[in-house]
Every structure is written in C-alpha cells, then in structure tokens.
Structure 1
Amino acid sequence: MSTSFAAESALASPADGTARTVIRSAADVSQLVNRGAAVGSDARIVIAIALGGVFLDAYDLGALAFGVKDIAREFSLTPAATGFVASAITFGAIIGAFLGGYLTDKIGRYRVFMADMFFFVVAAIACGLAPNAWVLGGARFVMGLGVGIDLPVAMAFLAEFSRLNGRGNKAARIAMWCPTWYAAISVSYLLVLALYALLPASHSSWLWRLTLGFGALPALVIIAIRSRYISESPVWAANQGDLRGAAQILKRSYGMDVEVDAAALRDTKAPVHKATWSNYGALLRGVYLRRTVLATVIAVASSFAYNAVAFGLPVIISSFLAQSMLTTILASLALNLCFAFVGGLIAVRAVPKVGAWKLTVLGYAFQLAALIGLAVVGRPAGGAQVALAIGFLAVFLLGQGFGPGSHSMTFASLSYPTSLRGVGVGFNQTLMRASSTVSLFLFPVLSAALGTKVFWIIAFAPLAGLVALLAIRWEPSGYDVDAEDFDAAKRT
C-alpha cells in the first residue's frame, strides 16, 4: 500500500501524560478500526443496534407466514389479491435495496439507518390497523422499502465497526446477521404460538394484526436509544474528507484518544470518495466483476432454495405430518431454532479460522444432499419415512445456517471497500429479493404440479452455488478490502 500508517506512532500529551494517536488520512482511520475497539467502548453496542435492524427485517418478512389464510378470509380475497398482499413487502424490498445502497454511500450510514427505522414503525402500525387489503398491501410495500434500505446500511455498520482478524472479526460480525435472522423468525413463531393459545376463538382474527403490529415495538426501542450510542461509520466519514469527524467517532465509539495531524487538515489534495450512481457500474469492472458474480450467484441461489423450503416449511411439515396448526408451528419453531439458528452460531465462531469460502461450499453440499434425499423419499408413507424427511429438512437448514445463509452477506459486504459497500450490498440485495419473489411465487405453483418432485428443481440452486464457488475461489474473511480505497491499482 502506498500510504504510510501514521497511527502506529503516538504523541505524549503534556497535560496528562497519556498517549494520543495521530491520524493523517482515511487509511489511518481504517487501520485503527481493523485493530479493534478498546475494552468497554460503544462499538459493540453499535453492532447490536445494527443487528436490531436485521431482526426487524426478518421479523417483518416472516410475520405474515401464518396469517395469510385469515387475511384472505377476512377481506374475501381472490388468490391473485392474496398474492398481492403477500408479495408487496418483497417488491418494496427490491426498490429499497437499490435506493438504500446508493444512499448509504451518498449521505452516510447513520442518516439512512435512522430514517429506515421510521419506515418500520409507521408501516407496522398501519398493517395492524389496516381496514382493507389495499391499505395492508400498501403498508407492507412501505415496510419492504424499510427492509430493503436497512440491510445495506446494517452490513456497512457490521463491517466498519469490527476488527479485521481474530475472534469477532468483520466476517464473524457480518455472519451474526444469520442467527439474528433466525432468532427473529423464531420470535414470530413464538408470538403466533402465544397469541394462538391466549386469544379466544371469537377474536382469532386479531392474530395476524397483533403479529404484524408488534414489529413497531423493537423499532421504537432502537429509535429511543439511537442518540446515546449510534454513530456514523468512522471510515465512511474519513473517506468523505472529514478527519475531524472520524476522530470524534473513534473517541466516542472506540474509546481511542485520537487527534488529527494539523498538516492533514490543511491538505486539499487528499482523495475523497463521493458516491455517484456510476458506482453501480464499478461493481461490474476490474477485480470487482468476479466478486460481484460470485456474491450474486451465492445470494440468489441461497435465497431461492431457502425461501422455497423455509418459508414453505409450515406447508411441508403439515403435509408430512398431517397434523394441526399447533403441531406445525411447534415443528417449524424447533427446526429453525435447533438447526438454522445453531448453524448460524457455528458460522460466527468458525469463520475467522475456517473462512467463508469453505463454510459456504460445505453448506451447499449439505443442502444439495438434503434436497436430493427429500426428492427420493417423496411423500412419506410411514413413521420411519416421516422421520427421515424431517431429518433431511434439518440438514438443509443446518447447511443454510453455517453456509450460504450466513456468508451470502459476507461475500456481498466484504467484496467491496467502504466507498462501494453500500451499492455492493444494495445491488446484491436487489437481485436476491427478486429471486425471493420468484421462489415465493413458483414454489406453490411447482409444488401443486410436481408434488415432492419439486425438490429436484430446488436442488439446482445449491448446485449452482457450488459451481460458482469452485470456479471463483475468493475468500473475503481476513482480507483488508477497505485498503483498496487507498490503492487505485487494486480497482483495475
């Protein structure tokens, strides 16, 4: 790297005798972040707040799973109208991801994050009080905008408030989005279960309204604590030429005694990375083209397979077990917690040592084997076959948890430096959400036409992911991708 790292040298303060770190460039700020925050700093709380946004994304996407039939009955919806209500959030997320990625790089992580929290509050309340399907569909679309906007900014926070190497590195922090996601899905299941048990039969129509409206509560909590802990990304601030602001963030969130070199403040020739719409084109040039292709294939394949299986999990389980809704809810909850959630925790602990590439390859291999097994078993005829089919579902969710489920975001977030991270994740999420929409639409259609043979079709998704990973052996964990903002040769 051509820039020298001045932060390694510290100046003694004559007032108190403590050591201060001097920064002269955005590269220095990036290096300080890579070394990790001081013990007792606010950086981990910022990470937790960012993961709170991910929790909202997952909860709001999954909250409608058990309420679609009640909504259709209450509003006398046709199948087409039911599809409109169910898919409105994914269409909003497609648009939100594209716009949110650009805005995250353009106006900053903090402003975008605070704005999208209000989307969640307003939309959740509107969903819970919706008088008709049009209002409900519109509110879900607005909620989707918030979901789409949030993931690029949340991933930027996770990447830019984490160390480069060791336990809790950038890849591990980003992988935390996966168990957070499954925890949110499980909370939605638990809430449905509690309401199902507590609501009298005469008020069963409240179930979906209370479930959707609950999403406003965690969003209000995040908004309430934002002013105390949340900060702009120091690396993004430095990239915009605001070294003073970056130093203040490092003091506040990292517990570092930092000052800016006076000569650096007078330097008018220091590079500044301002976001433009052309940054989306940069994703398809030079070294970033291969990374974009790989991250996109992983995200699309993971989304298609997971949505077809996991969001169809209640339908699959009920067809396997032919039991009540209560049994279906409990089985779905158990599979998510015991396998998808646990798999996500394994990814967080393993990725600093094993790497995202190997874990994703292994995860896709698990999924491919599980889907082939489900296709071969078909509709279970007896207790042993039912247990085998449920076992294959568990293997699929475990592979999703420690493999592509966790690391689709790792590849999307850590394939690009700070100046391109927002648009990189936004572009990735736009295509992934489109894949989600297609899979959510196709799964019921294909399932009705093919029965359990649909698993042969779904198996092509992990197979495509494996082929892409074997063709492009890119390992983002432990690689200092932010340094590419300070070395122009890396961009070409």
Structure 2
Amino acid sequence: MSNNMSVEDVPISRFHRLLTVRSGGGSFVDGYVLSIIGIAMTKVSPALGLSPLWEGLIAASALIGIFFGGFMGGVLTDRLGRRMIYFVGPTLFIVCSLAQFWVQSGETLFALRFMTGVAVGIEYPVATAFLVEFMPKKSRGPCLATLTILWFAGAATAYLVGEALLNFGGVEAWRYTLASTAVIGALLFIVRMGTPESPRWLISKGRHQEAEAVIRRVYGDRFSLKNLPPQPENNHLSFGSLLHSGYGKRMAFVTIFWTCSVIPVFAVYAFAPKVLQALHLSGDWASYGSIAITLLFVVGCMIGTRLVNSLGRRKLLLHSFLWSGLALLLLGALRDGPSMIILLMFGAYALFIGGAQVLQLVYPNEIFPTEIRAGAVGIGTSMSRIGAAVGTYLVPISLQTIGIGSTMYIAAGITFIGLIVSWFLAPETASRNLDDAASLEEERPAPSVSGKLSKHSH
C-alpha cells in the first residue's frame, strides 16, 4: 500500500516530544547560566578579591561568549552536520562548569564563563535546526516557541538552586553554585544520545541513502524519501553567496526584529528594581513588582506560543511590537503617575512583548533553507546579544543622565523600529511546509496603506 503522506503532516510522536526535550535543554541552560552568576557574585567577589572592573567583565563574559558561539555554531552546524555539533554544547558545559569549582582568580573565571557562553551560543543554531527539520508543520511553531519559556524556567531554577546552595553550603558554597551547571550538561549529553542526523541536512550533502534510513527509523517503514518535500542540493553554495541570492533581506529582517525585541527586555529584566525605583516605586511595591513582571514575561511567552499558529507569525509579531511599544511610551509619559498605573503599564509591556520573544527562534528557522538555516540562527543569536549587552550596560547610565522618562521613550522607539521593519519585511509562514516557507518564490507584496494589520496572503 502506497503512502502519500508528507512527513510534515504526521501526528506528533514520542520521538518529537523527546526531541523537544533534547533541544529545549539548551535554552534551559542559557537561562540558568546567565542567572546563576548574578546569585553567586555576592560571594565570589570577596572570595577572589575582584575589582569592580572584573565583576563587570565576569558578569558580561557569558554574553560575549554567546556572540562568538552563535557565529561558530551556525557555521559548524551547516558544514559538519547537526548531530556532531549537538554534543559540543553539553561537553563544554560539563568541562567548564567543573573547572569553575577550582577557580582561583577573576581572569580564570572570566575565561571559563566565556567558554560557557560559547557553548550556549552554539546551542541555539544546532538545537533549533534539529527541532524544525523533524517537527510536523502544525507543531513546528509552538515547539520552537516553547524554547523561550524554557529559558525563563532555567533562570527560575538557577535562583532556587543558587539560593539553596549558598544558604546551606558553607563558606565555599559559591564554588558548588558555579559548578552546578555541569549536572544539567551531563543530563543533556545523556538524553541526546541516540539522536539521528537530520535527513534534510543529509540530502543537502547528497547523502540520500543515509537520509532514507533515518526517515524509515523515525517515521516507520511505510515512509521514504518520497514522503519528504523535494530538497534542493545547494552544497556548492557558500553562506555569503546564498545571502546575495536574495536571503540578505530576510537576514536583515531577522537581525533587526530580534535585536529590537531583546534590547528593552534585557534592560527591563536586568534592572527592574532600579527602573521601578526611578518611577518612584519603593519597598514592597518594587520587590513585588519585580516578581510580577518576571511572571508576566513568562505568561506573555505562553500566550504567544498558543497564538503562533492560530493568529499567524506576522500578525502576532506586529501586534506584539505595537502594544508593547505603546506601553513603554505611556511609561515615559506617566512616569510621575500612581504606582498602580506604573505597574500596570510595566505588566502590559511584559505581557505583549511575549509574541516577539517566542518568534525569535521561529522565524529564522522557517525562512531560510537547510543549507544556511543554522548559520542564520547563529547570526541572529550573536547580533541580538550585542544589543542585549549594550542595552544592559546603558540602562543605569541612561537613568542617571537623561532620566526615566527619556529612557522609556528610547525603549519605545527601539520597539517601534522593530514594528516598522516587521511591517515591511515579515512574511507569513504559519500554514506552509518548511521548504515553501524558506523559498523566495512567493515573496510578500508591499503592504497596503489601508492601516490594517493584514495577514499575509499566499
């Protein structure tokens, strides 16, 4: 009996769920790694005699590492394959985290934290490429969006584990806190064992027999290469030449929208108590407000995940930028307003930006072909982390020099730049198979001037 069903239309299986766990672990570690250093730093600094300069460098070291790791991971994943690079991140997590246990200087800690950041950067392109190349069409968006929620889960776990270890671990507890990432790295390594190579990547390299064997193993003997949409073989093209062939505009879209969506988020998330204080909220208002905002970031991402298919990628992104930008604009205008209004606007921003947050990993994985998919995610990851680092660095300076009102207006301006770029460049990919979504043949026509947030027609 012939089987004409595409692998993109199969029901979600145990393999797909396990793959989501395998790939989601990278996002979990990212949230954990970036948060654990903040908790440990109060003990690390006096123990190692760190100067303010080295405190700042160590705090930023992982972000710097992610910048280099994103580029590196993207290139290596496209060139050497998904499966081989899948184990680089967990291996580095184990080695670098265990080494932090015996660290004796700020310089050594900086180097180890930097390499941990490189591992995180490598994770994004390889983990998301694996996920999108195996996942059925209907589950692709929600599964990629779930990775953003796992980032917050990792950050929350870091706070719980870090506080517990520092409270009950004695004088040297900070060493156990920094080394704790090794446990997650080891679990990630174990759970990823047995993952097959992506058949799409194998076909892009002309390795059809191996691709056929993987398809039969994952989907069953009734499936073969005939059930996979036709795959282009562009292995003779470089990343640069593919960008020049028309994907440069899409790379610009991904880089700009991703960066515009993370700069205000990182700034707000890192300095929520400081920002709330500048808005004349103090004491219980500030502490409860910080917790509420963190929870609303998670809720916003969860809502975005639910809407990513039903509302569509393009509509979700435009609405997310529009309403979160207006919330920041009102925060600037109402900076001297009642505490409840301030918290309401902050909460609205955290809630509405969730749509853009979850699309950071969906869009670059859907709108680029197999040959450069991981490279595109790597570039997006790297460039957005520059924005995050700059935003985080400038917030306290901005609050001190130009005040809270102007700082909020700048954040709103950055968000509206994301809206404008998305209005002109964001395609709709929700109901398309992966190869159609990555094709340049059906480029979206220029938007009409009707003023409506219209859905892309195809």
TM-score (norm 1): 0.81
2:143 aligned residue (173, 195, 198):
173
Q: What's the CA shift string for 1:149-202, capped at 9, x where partnerless? A: 1101111022112112x3x2x222211121111222222233344446x438x6
Aligned residues: 437
> Is 1:143 aligned with 2:100?
no
Q: 1:104 to 1:79 in 2, by over 3 A?
A: same
Alignment of 1:57-456 (within 5 A): 57-164=30-137, 166=138, 168=139, 170-195=140-165, 198-199=167-168, 203=171, 206-207=173-174, 209-228=175-194, 230-259=195-224, 272-274=233-235, 278-286=238-246, 288-317=247-276, 321-323=281-283, 328=287, 332-337=290-295, 339-378=296-335, 385-401=338-354, 403-453=355-405, 454-456=407-409
Q: 1:471 to 1:316 in 2, by over 3 A?
A: same
Contact 2:429–2:437 (Cα < 8 Å) also in 1? no
Q: Matches of 2:105 and 2:435 in 1, distance apart?
A: 48
| Letter paired with 1:135 | T
Q: What's the CA shift string for 1:362-416, capped at 9, x where partnerless? A: 1112321222232234367xxxx33332222221211222x21111222221110
Q: Matches of 1:133 and 1:255 in 2, distance apart?
A: 53
Shift in Å, 1:239: 2.1
Q: Matches of 1:482 and 1:311 in 2, distance apart?
A: 38
Contact 1:363–1:404 (Cα < 8 Å) also in 2? yes
Q: Matches of 1:366 and 1:271 in 2, distance apart?
A: 39
Q: What's the CA shift string for 1:432-476, capped at 9, x where partnerless? A: 122122112212222232332322222221111111122224123
Match of 1:26 in 2: none
Q: Matches of 2:440 and 2:313 in 1, distance apart?
A: 26
Q: Matches of 1:40 and 1:468 in 2, distance apart?
A: 37
Q: Matches of 1:488 and 1:334 in 2, distance apart?
A: 42
> Is 1:33 aligned with 2:3?
no
Contact 1:106–1:275 (Cα < 8 Å) also in 2? no
Contact 1:158–1:174 (Cα < 8 Å) also in 2? yes
| Letter paired with 2:66 | A
Q: Matches of 1:301 and 1:430 in 2, distance apart?
A: 13
Say which SS state the counterpart of residue 35 (structure 1) adopts.
coil
Contact 1:280–1:423 (Cα < 8 Å) also in 2? no
| Letter paired with 2:173 | W
Q: Matches of 1:317 and 1:123 in 2, distance apart?
A: 36
Q: What's the CA shift string for 1:134-160, capped at 9, x where partnerless? A: 111001100111011110111102211
Shift in Å, 1:302: 1.0
Match of 1:6 in 2: none
Q: What's the CA shift string for 1:321-340, capped at 9, x where partnerless? A: 5449x984x65444323x11
Say which SS state the counterpart of residue 33 (structure 1) adopts.
coil
Contact 1:291–1:474 (Cα < 8 Å) also in 2? no
Bigger drift between 426-435 and 246-255 goes to: 246-255
Q: Matches of 2:336 and 2:32 in 1, distance apart?
A: 30
Contact 1:304–1:439 (Cα < 8 Å) also in 2? yes
Bigger drift between 215-224 and 70-79 goes to: 70-79
Q: What's the CA shift string for 1:47-102, capped at 9, x where partnerless? A: 22101111112211222233444433433333322221111111111111111111
Say which SS state the counterpart of residue 130 (structure 1) adopts.
coil
Larger Rg: 1
Bigger drift between 97-106 and 230-239 goes to: 230-239
Shift in Å, 1:341: 1.4
Contact 1:41–1:255 (Cα < 8 Å) also in 2? no
| Cα-Cα RMSD | 2.9
Shift in Å, 1:489: 6.3
Q: Matches of 2:31 and 2:83 in 1, distance apart?
A: 21
Q: Matches of 1:252 and 1:96 in 2, distance apart?
A: 32
Say which SS state the counterpart of residue 58 (structure 1) adopts.
helix
Which sections of structure 1, spanning at least 5 residues, go unmatched? 1-9, 12-20, 23-30, 262-269
Q: Matches of 1:314 and 1:71 in 2, distance apart?
A: 22
Q: 1:213 to 1:332 in 2, by over 3 A?
A: farther
Q: Which runs of 4+ in 1 moved over 4 A?
A: 317-321, 487-491
Q: Matches of 1:98 and 1:132 in 2, distance apart?
A: 28
Q: Matches of 1:195 and 1:375 in 2, distance apart?
A: 40
Shift in Å, 1:210: 3.7
Bigger drift between 459-468 and 65-74 goes to: 65-74
Match of 2:416 in 1: 463
Contact 1:335–1:397 (Cα < 8 Å) also in 2? yes
Identity of aligned residues (%): 24
Which sections of structure 2, spanning at least 5 residues, go unmatched? 444-458
1:475 aligned residue (408, 425, 428):
428
Contact 2:239–2:375 (Cα < 8 Å) also in 1? yes
Contact 2:367–2:437 (Cα < 8 Å) also in 1? no
Q: 1:304 to 1:138 in 2, by over 3 A?
A: same
Q: Matches of 1:376 and 1:489 in 2, distance apart?
A: 45
Match of 1:51 in 2: 24
Shift in Å, 1:429: 1.5
